[in-house]
Each structure stands twice: as structure tokens, then as C-alpha cells.
A and B are shown apart, each in its own frame.
Chain A
Amino acid sequence: MIKFVPQIINLLATIILLLSFAMISQRRIVTLINLFMIQGAALVAASFLLGYVTNQPDLYVSGALTLLLKVIFIPWMLHRVIRKLNVRWDVETLFNIPTTMLVGIALVILAFSLAAPVSRLSETLAGGSLGIALACILLSFMMMITRSKAVPQVVGFLSMENGLIFAATAVTNGMPMIVEFGVALDVLVGVLILGVFMFQIREKFDNLDIHNLETLKDDRS
């Protein structure tokens, strides 16, 4: 069993990275949320597996936290929000998928070259995953820049958080427990606030297009 663990962790890391790519190329909002949920599930699997092999109960707690928050609660809330806002079947048409994918690949290469000198020093089972975690963070970052609707921006933000948690899990076998709880609390409150904002933006602008939010300029009189 132990023999296969690094391979399994690497497999999960690859799945997380692939899901990041799937998300940046996904136009349907409903599918996007489902992809985010699967990414969370892969993250939970990685936490539990590492917790089992390294015998660290902290990782179980961290995994359970991710399970509750990222796999169950937040997707449920986002589904509810898009149903209420009636944007469930919205399709974005603004960006060019092949170009985004190519930029995404460049970002992955950048992430790996940044992480290479550090990965070499890592002694944990999944130390090589640092590059993948960084790549996920940068891809989500790009997703937040290229998307013009509010919900995909929020999913990008959360998927970036996934990348960070994966980095913490894979590279250092989890942050101190108190920090994990603090981060989870911040994410939870943040998502609730963003959810409320979406309703307010909808009320003020009649749609959830972030292009409405570009009126604040320096030389506005």
C-alpha cells in the first residue's frame, strides 16, 4: 500500500490540475460549480490519504473541514444562489478558449520553474506537488481576470483557495490547526458576503456582469 502512495498523491494532484484547466475552459455556470465540487473532493481524498500514511490526525480534521465547506456547503449555496438569480443556464461567450488554454500552459511551466528549487528540498511524500499547487493558484488567478460574470469570479477565488490548501497539505503536511480553522472561517464568511453582494449587484444593475463595475475611474468628474 505504502509503495503506491506517492503515485496516488501525484495522480490526485494531476486531477486537481486538470480540473483547474477544465474550469478555465468551462462556459456553463452550473458545470463550473460541479467541477469545483469535484476538485474539492480530490483535495479531501489527498488529505485523508496523506493523513492515513503519515499518521497525522490533523490532516483528517483539515480534510473534514474541506469536505464540509468546499464539497458540501459552498456548492450547495452557489447552486441556490444561481437558482434564485435565475442564471443557472447562463453561458459566457466572451473569451477565446484556445488562447486561454495556451496562456494556461505557459502559467503551468512558470509555476513549475518557480517551484523547482524549493520542491527539490522537500522531504515530505508529496513534495513534488508544490509546482502543481502553484499552477492551480495561477490558473484560478487567470480565471478571475478573464471572467466577466460574478459567479465564475467567485468560483475562481474559491478554486485558488483549493490550490493553497493543497499546497499546505502536500508540502508541509498541513498548517497548524488554529490557522486552518481561521482560514476556513474567513473563506466561509467571505463566500456569504459575496453571495449577498451578488443579489445586491443584481438589484442595482439588473444583471451580474462585472463590466457594469467599471465606472470608477480616476478622471471621473
Chain B
Amino acid sequence: MNVLLFVLGIPLLGGGALALVGHKAWARDVNVLFSLGTFVASCVMTAQVINDGPFFVWNDQFFIDPLNVFLVTLTAFVGMTTSIFSRPYMRVEQDHGKMTPPRMRLYHSMYQLFSFTMLLGFTTNNLGIIWVAMEAATLTTVLLVSVYRTPSSLEAAWKYFILCGVGIAQALFGTILVYMAADKVLGAEHATLLWTSLSTIKGHLDPTIMSLAFVFLLVGYGTKIGLVPMHSWLPDAHAEGPTPVSAVLSGLLLNVAMYAVLRCKVLTDGSVGTPIAGQLMMGFGLVSVVVAGFFLSRQKDVKRMFSYSSIEHMGLITFAFGMGGPIASFAGLLHMTVHSLVKSAIFFTVGHATQKAGTQVMSEIRGLIKVNPTVGWGLMLGVMAIVGMPPFGVFASEFLILTTAMREQPWATPFLFIGLGVAFASILARVLPMVFGDTSLKPLAHPPALVPVFVHLALGLALGLFIPPYLNGWYVQAAAMLGG
């Protein structure tokens, strides 16, 4: 009996159970319970990895090491807090008539299945199953994005499906090429897609095949990360779906795709021997940071603006991993963590603000701090954190990435500063009037669940001030695995 069974089994069971009873009033609490169970199981698994080191499960099909166990815990944690946030939020949506009982059933069931697909993607050892999990995650989120059944949400979901379907097909082609490379080394009888086996023979994998494979894998999974120019689905999907979905899409799903790219990068680096994979990632990352910064400054819809901010941060993370080396990989992992925490906190407050104002247009949301001080302060602090103000964790990781870039890739530094600077100025300029201006809005019928917001921000702050030694050791180990 392995703890992984619970980590994967609880959300899968939750998806099945909520498909039957998800429309009941108490299903909201059941949803939280399932997410809590997943989180507890993942904490137990983390403790196991800390005590006993990496381990295999079920004929090597699953592999738990410092890199993925940390992402599993992060995913389970944000999944749990988002389910807490979603309780009052979806209740208000139901009162507004945007959600009906059958839609609530679909929403709850897909929420749990989405958690399952992400956790499956993280824990599996098989590159093919990572692909299957990514595609399944797309399918569940397509249903979540379209749950309001409005013309614009249908449009967003259709685009999301088609663009990500095309993107992820490239990743499958890349996976086939990796399998072909393994086939050449191991022979048809023993060929495998297990990452750990490929990792031991990566020096023998054919460099021509592997570099072509990595291009396809990066473009394919890069579509899901939201790298420019494959990003156009992302703002639509984030803006049109329910806010809890925007929070998990932005905070968690993008990380799964990033993780898949990282696993493939390790194999490619080992096989090719030149930094070609890193250079490609730096290129895509840099373009994403700059382009997203400028797109961000043109937005009028608050959820679209923050989804462009996610593209920008994902670009920065891609750039950091592309540079490689222990410090940059460490900073990339730290940035992944704090971005997940802070961005989902921002989406929580933005969700309440838009619900209150009845619109997502920023110029019509004013004076949050007067109607509901906790929402106002939550948004203000979240924004300070995401634009990289000290002492939040984003500042620490951005500082590490920028200083490493100055030392190792000086040519890229001005572009990074331009992208981050434009984003800084435009987000603050938009959000300040939203928080402080005058307003005539009324408070909401159901008090919003704001504990998750402040828990996330407190963690983001704590990571900026002090990284506990075991967490530090964990990041260092994970960074070393990435070939640091």
C-alpha cells in the first residue's frame, strides 16, 4: 500500500463521486474535503521523500523525486485553497443565475479530475503518460472554461481546445522521436519511455534525433505554458472561465507543462552535449517576457491583464531554466512556487472584486478598499508581490534570475528589464484606482473566503524573507537534478 495511491486515488474518486452528487448544496464542502485529503496525502508523501529519498512505485511506472514531490505538494495545496475560495464564490454565481445545479455537478467533478490529471502528470515516470495527462488536463479544463455556456466562454473553450490540441500534437511527435532514439539504443524489445531508464542512457541517445525531438516538445508543451507566439488561447481561457478555474489554470496547469519541458531538457542536454535546448528556452522565454509586458499594458479586462502577467512570469521561468546552472535553476523553482501562490491569491481577490462590480472591466471597478477592506488590501498586497516588490518572494527569485543573467547572458538583461518594467508600471497604474478610488458598490450576500488569499501572500512573503533549511536543501537537490 503506497501513499501515492491516495495522492492519485482521492481526486479520481472525488471526480467520480461528485459527478453523481455534485449538484447538491453540500457538494461544495465535499469538494473541499477531497482536496484536503489530497493535500494531506501529498504531505505524507513529501515526508517520505525527505526521510527515505526518491522512490519508485508500481514497476517503475511512477517515480517520486525531490523535483516532482515539491510540485505535487504545491499543486495539492493550491488545489485545496482554491476549493475553499470556490465555495462562497460559486454560491454567489449560482444566486446570480450563472450556474445551475447540473453545471455545478460538472464543475465539481471536473475540478477533481483536473487535479488528478495534474498529479498524474507530475508523478508518472513515463514520458508518454505525461503527454496523456496533459491532454486530459486540457479536456477537463475545456469543460471548466465553457461552464457558463455564454457565447464568449464557448469561443474561449473552442479556441483553447483547438490551439492546445495542435500544440500538444507536436509534443506527441516529439515523444515519438524520443522513443525512436531509445529504440535505437536499447533495441525494439527493451525500448522504453520511462524517464529514469532514458536518463541512465541519455549519453547514448542519438543527438540528431534528440535535438529535433526537443524542438517539437518545446513548441508543444510551450503552447500549454503559454509561451509567445503560441499563447493566444491563454488570455481568453483565463478571462472567460469561472475565477477559481483561472486561479488553478494560471497557478498550476502552466507548471505541469513547464515540468514536462524540464524533464525533456535533461534528456536532451545529456544527449546533445551542446546548450542548444537551453538556448531555445532562453529565446522563447525572453520573447514571452517582452511581448507579454507590452500586451499587458493594453488590457482593459482585469483577468486578461493578469493572464498576460502569467505569460510574462512563465517566460521568465523558462528563461531561468534555459540559462541553467545551480543558481538560475534554483531561482526558477523558487519563482514557480511564489508565482503559483501569489497569482492564485490575486485571482481570488479579483474574483470577489469582479463579482461585486458585476464586470471585469477595470475602469468600472473602483474603491475596493472602502467596500471591503480585506479584498482591497489583498489585491494591493498581491499586486505588490507579483510586480516584484521586496520583501516578497517574487523579488528574491527575480533578483537571482536578473543577477545571473547579467553575469552569464548580459545581452538579455536589457530586454528582461524592459519587459518587467513595463509590466510593473502598467499593473500598478491600473490597480491603484481599482483599490483606492470612489465607489457606490454594495458588499456581497455571502462573505468571501479570504483566508486563502492571506495564507498564500504570507507564504509568498515568508519565502522572500527566509527559506527554511529543509526547503532550501530540497530546491538545491531539485536544481541539481536539472543538471545544475
Q: How far is the CA of A178 from the CA of B450 in the complex (A)?
A: 43
Contact (A121, B154) CB under 8 Å given A186-B136, A186-B139, A193-B143: no
The DSSP consensus for interface residues of chain B is: helix
B152 touches A215 (CB 8 A): yes
Q: Does A14 contact B (CB under 8 A)?
A: no
CB distance from B142 to the nearest CB of A (A): 6
Note all chain A residues with C-beta closer than 8 A to B169.
137, 160-161, 164
Q: How far is the CA of A122 from the CA of B175 in the complex (A)?
A: 16
A176 touches B154 (CB 8 A): no
Q: How far is the CA of A160 from the CA of B126 in the complex (A)?
A: 23
A175 touches B193 (CB 8 A): yes
Q: Does A201 contact B (CB under 8 A)?
A: yes
A172 touches B161 (CB 8 A): no
A121 touches B129 (CB 8 A): no
Q: How far is the CA of A182 from the CA of B206 in the complex (A)?
A: 27
Q: How far is the CA of A150 from the CA of B157 in the complex (A)?
A: 13
CB distance from B200 to the nearest CB of A (A): 18
A160 touches B183 (CB 8 A): no
Note all chain A residues with C-beta closer than 8 A to B192.
176
Q: Does B135 contact A (CB under 8 A)?
A: yes
B151 touches A205 (CB 8 A): yes
Q: Does A76 contact B (CB under 8 A)?
A: no
How many positions in chain A have a CB within 8 Å of any CB in the partner chain?
Answer: 51
Note all chain B residues with C-beta closer than 8 A to A210.
158
Q: Does A102 contact B (CB under 8 A)?
A: no
Q: Of A160, A173, A185, A204, which one neighbours B188 at CB under 8 angstroms?
A: A173
How many positions in chain B have a CB within 8 Å of any CB in the partner chain?
Answer: 56
Contact (A216, B300) CB under 8 Å given A122-B180, A175-B176, A186-B135: no
Note all chain A residues with C-beta closer than 8 A to B161.
190, 193-194, 197
Note all chain A residues with C-beta closer than 8 A to B131.
179, 182-183
Please report which residues of chain A, range 124-147, place their CB below 8 angstroms from some CB of chain B when the two chains form the complex: 124, 134, 137, 141, 144
A172 touches B173 (CB 8 A): no
Please report which residues of chain A, range 173-210, place their CB below 8 angstroms from some CB of chain B when the two chains form the complex: 173, 175-176, 178-179, 182-183, 185-186, 189-190, 193-194, 197, 200-201, 204-205, 210
Please report which residues of chain B, range 108-155, place their CB below 8 angstroms from some CB of chain A when the two chains form the complex: 126, 128-129, 131-132, 135-136, 139, 142-143, 146, 149-152, 154-155
Note all chain B residues with C-beta closer than 8 A to A205.
151
CB distance from A119 to the nearest CB of B (A): 10
Q: How far is the CA of A167 from the CA of B177 in the complex (A)?
A: 9
CB distance from B210 to the nearest CB of A (A): 10
Q: How far is the CA of A201 from the CA of B154 in the complex (A)?
A: 7
Q: How far is the CA of A189 from the CA of B304 in the complex (A)?
A: 29
Q: How far is the CA of A123 from the CA of B236 in the complex (A)?
A: 45
Q: Of A141, A171, A185, A216, which one neighbours B152 at CB under 8 angstroms?
A: A216
A167 touches B176 (CB 8 A): yes
CB distance from A164 to the nearest CB of B (A): 5
Q: How far is the CA of A160 from the CA of B142 in the complex (A)?
A: 20
Q: Does B159 contact A (CB under 8 A)?
A: yes
Q: Does B455 contact A (CB under 8 A)?
A: no
Q: Of A118, A124, A144, which one neighbours B166 at CB under 8 angstroms?
A: A144
Q: How far is the CA of A161 from the CA of B132 in the complex (A)?
A: 13
A179 touches B126 (CB 8 A): yes
B128 touches A176 (CB 8 A): yes
B209 touches A220 (CB 8 A): no
B132 touches A141 (CB 8 A): no
A218 touches B299 (CB 8 A): yes
CB distance from A88 to the nearest CB of B (A): 21
Name B's A-contacting residues (CB within 8 A). 61, 126, 128-129, 131-132, 135-136, 139, 142-143, 146, 149-152, 154-159, 161-162, 165-166, 169, 172-173, 175-177, 179-180, 183-184, 188, 191-193, 206, 208-209, 212, 235-236, 239-240, 295, 298-301, 304, 361, 363
Name A's B-contacting residues (CB within 8 A). 54, 56, 114, 117-118, 121-124, 134, 137, 141, 144, 150, 153, 157, 160-161, 164, 167-168, 171-173, 175-176, 178-179, 182-183, 185-186, 189-190, 193-194, 197, 200-201, 204-205, 210, 212-216, 218-221
20 other A-B residue contacts (CB within 8 Å) besides A123-B184, A175-B179: A117-B208, A118-B177, A141-B166, A164-B176, A167-B173, A167-B176, A172-B176, A172-B180, A175-B176, A175-B193, A179-B128, A182-B131, A183-B132, A185-B136, A189-B136, A197-B146, A213-B155, A213-B158, A216-B240, A218-B298
List 27 A-B residue pairs with CB atoms under 8 Å apart, sorted by A's residue number. A118-B177, A118-B180, A118-B209, A121-B209, A157-B162, A172-B179, A175-B179, A176-B126, A176-B128, A176-B193, A178-B61, A178-B128, A179-B128, A179-B132, A182-B131, A183-B131, A185-B136, A190-B161, A197-B158, A204-B151, A212-B151, A213-B159, A216-B156, A216-B236, A218-B235, A218-B304, A221-B300
